[in-house]
């Protein structure tokens, strides 16, 4: 650990314990693995284990919602907290579904309905320009606060560029992965194995940026 990072921890003895403002076990496992690889002695606990309910995500951007979730968890838990906000942006749709990705079709977490709505919304565009691919990008913003009122949150952002298919391909992953085509790999995110996806994904990129900031 660098001297500047060591000083950060020395100023706050509790800072080696963080709250993950989520109960997603996949996110938790990925953070733990990458922190261990970077030799960061940080224990990350999902907020549910501390009886912290989900924050009200009323921001208008990924950055705002990530900060809202991190501050909420830190305020209740009394520890540094890290949160992410992520989703799919399609420029041709004004960057929809964006922050509403998980509830695009009105029911939170219904991947099948969300994918079906995205396909339907893109049909008129495909009819107008049948020979052009439709670009899309997965976005992940991570926010880390040392305390609930931290005026200088650490912000890291990852963007994963791709194209949106007309029909799903693949059974792995979740969300919009079956529609997210990677031309350079000739596959969808839903056809990739977990290790490759974690290495290339928007979340993997954001975590890499976060580690770089922590170790600088």
Any idea which residues carry the catalytic annotation?
A: 85
- The partner residues of 81 in beta bridges, in order of sequence, read 19, 145
Question: 1-7 long-range contacts, Cβ below 8 Å, gap at least 24?
Answer: 1/39, 1/40, 1/41, 1/215, 2/215, 2/216, 4/216, 5/40, 5/214, 5/215, 5/216
216, β-bridge pairs: none
3-state secondary structure of 103: helix
DSSP helix/strand/coil, 15: helix
């Amino acid at each position: 650990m660098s001297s500047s990072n060591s000083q950060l921890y020395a100023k706050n003895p509790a800072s080696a314990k963080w709250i993950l403002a989520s109960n997603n076990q996949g996110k938790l496992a990925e953070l733990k693995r990458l922190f261990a690889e970077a030799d960061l002695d940080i224990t990350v606990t999902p907020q549910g284990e501390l009886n912290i309910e989900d924050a009200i995500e009323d921001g208008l951007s990924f950055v705002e919602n990530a900060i809202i979730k991190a501050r909420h968890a830190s305020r209740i838990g009394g520890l540094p907290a890290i949160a992410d906000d992520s989703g799919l942006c399609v420029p041709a749709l004004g960057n929809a579904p964006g922050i509403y990705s998980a509830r695009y079709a009105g029911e939170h977490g219904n991947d099948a309905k969300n994918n079906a709505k995205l396909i339907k919304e893109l049909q008129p565009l495909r009819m107008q320009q049948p020979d052009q691919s439709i670009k899309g990008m997965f976005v992940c913003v991570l926010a880390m606060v040392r305390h609930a009122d931290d005026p200088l949150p650490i912000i890291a952002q990852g963007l994963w560029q791709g194209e949106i298919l007309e029909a799903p391909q693949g059974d792995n992953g979740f969300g919009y992965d079956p529609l997210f085509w990677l031309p350079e790999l000739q596959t969808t995110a839903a056809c990739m194995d977990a290790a490759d996806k974690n290495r290339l994904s928007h979340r993997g990129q954001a975590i890499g940026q976060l580690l770089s900031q922590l170790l600088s």
